[in-house]
Amino acid sequence: MSFELWLTFAAASTALLVIPGPTLMMVLSYAMTQGRRVAVASALGVAVGDLIAMTLSVIGLGALFLASAMAFNILKWVGAVYLIYLGIKMLRSATSASTQSALMDKPAGQTPTRVFRDLATVTALNPKSNTFFVAFVPQFIQADAAFAPQAGILIATFVTIAGINALVFALAANAMRARITRPNFQMWLTRAGGATLIGMGLLTATLRRST
């Protein structure tokens, strides 16, 4: 792969990733309400989820979902139900102002391991990610060169940028958290995160397979 083509891919990926999307909103919510360790875990979860989704897409799973309505619908509904479940769980974790204040420095029932798992699963199961990678990546594959090395370079580049981007946003949000002392803000932010997850689930349920 030429350096110019790689640089174009890196620039395009960066431009796409810095635009706040639903997954990044989840990272911000976790970071601002549950501390630095959870913030880092959420960023790593996004990176691993992107790694899984992009790898599967590049090796042909994404093409399968585009070709098979049943496969796409199965992934779509699994992802939608899981997102809504996480959203409801987050809404229920929003406690009273006094309790939330006491838990400011301690994750409210959300360990870094659980947050990592949830973000990785949400990102990997998002059918929009699979269809996006199938549409986006081939533009940067040279037909006259070996496929595997190019795919490896593109996957490593995108996942690295995605992880760094999520980590920067997460740490910035965590720094803001240290300056926020109003318990009501924490409670409503948790509720907003839960509502965002539910909205993501409903949006995922409305996705249609490209024809």
pLDDT digits (tens, 9 = 90+) for 135-147: 677 777 776 788 7
How many CA atoms does the CB half-sphere of 16 hold within 13 Å?
A: 15
The top-scoring range by mean pLDDT among 9-18, 82-91, 98-107, 111-120 is 111-120
Q: What does the pLDDT read at residue 170?
A: 85
R_g over Cα of the chain? 18
| C-beta of residue 120 within 8 angstroms of C-beta of residue 159 | no
Q: What integer pLDDT is reported at residue 18 of this predicted model?
A: 74
pLDDT for the residue numbered 119: 87
Q: Over range 4-9, report the average pLDDT.
A: 89
pTM, two decimals, is 0.66
pLDDT reported for residue 160: 93
Cβ atoms of residues 187 and 94 within 8 Å: yes
- Type of residue found at 5: L
Backbone angles phi, psi at 112, to 5 degrees: -55, -35
> pLDDT band at 188, cuts 50/70/90?
confident
- If you average pLDDT over every residue of the chain, what do you get? 75
In the structure encoding, which two tokens stand for residue 115, read together? 């947050």
Q: Are 60 and 176 in contact (CB under 8 A)?
A: no
